[in-house]
Structures are given as C-alpha cells and as structure tokens.
Amino acid sequence: MGAEQLQQRRASRRCIVATVLGDAELTRMWKTELEEMRLRHHESAGAKFVGHEADKAVRRFLVLAKIRRAMFSYSGLTQCGR
C-alpha cells in the first residue's frame, strides 16, 4: 500500500469520525454499540476465566486422586474390588 493510499484512508477515517461526533444521534448510537461490545467482551472474558478455574479444579482433583492411589499402593492397602 502506497503513502498516498494511506493518506486517503486516514482522511476518510477523519471524515467518518467528524460525521459521527458531529451528529448527536450517531454519537448516541456509537456509544451504545461500544457499551454493548464492552459488555460482551467482559462476559466472554469472565466465562473464559470461570472455565479456566474449573479446568484448574479438575486438574487438582485428578492429581490428588493419583497421589491417593499411589499412597494406597505404596502402603499395601487396596480398595475393594481393585
């Protein structure tokens, strides 16, 4: 992409921003859209965090189960049916 094309894109973006910010209704719509995007991002990030914490809990449980199984086998104790 050439320097002239970049300048044209920048000018176009400035024109769009000036149009949106110069009109009260467009500004309101833009702010509403930004708020909705922020909420979606926040919910998505929270869901990923919850999922990550759940994964960590499952991994901890599995590690503890392996340790417990190893302790029983080391001590000579076994569980019924095993």
- Is residue 27 in some structural domain? yes
Provide the pLDDT for residue 77: 46
> Does residue 48 form part of some domain?
yes
How confident is the model at residue 28, as a pLDDT?
Answer: 92
Per the structure, the count of domains in the chain is 1
Residue 58 domain boundaries = 3-75
Q: How far is CA 56 from CA 21, 30, 51, 66, 68, in A?
A: 46, 39, 9, 15, 18
User: Is residue 82, in this structure, part of any structural domain at all?
Assistant: no
Domain assignment present for residue 80? The answer is no
- Residue 44 inside a domain? The answer is yes
The predicted pLDDT at position 70 comes to: 59
pLDDT for 59 equals: 77
Predicted confidence (pLDDT) per residue in 17-74, tens digit: 889 889 999 999 989 988 888 888 877 776 666 666 667 777 777 777 766 665 555 5
pLDDT of residue 29: 92
The letter for the amino acid at 54 is A
Residue 35 within any structural domain of the chain:
yes
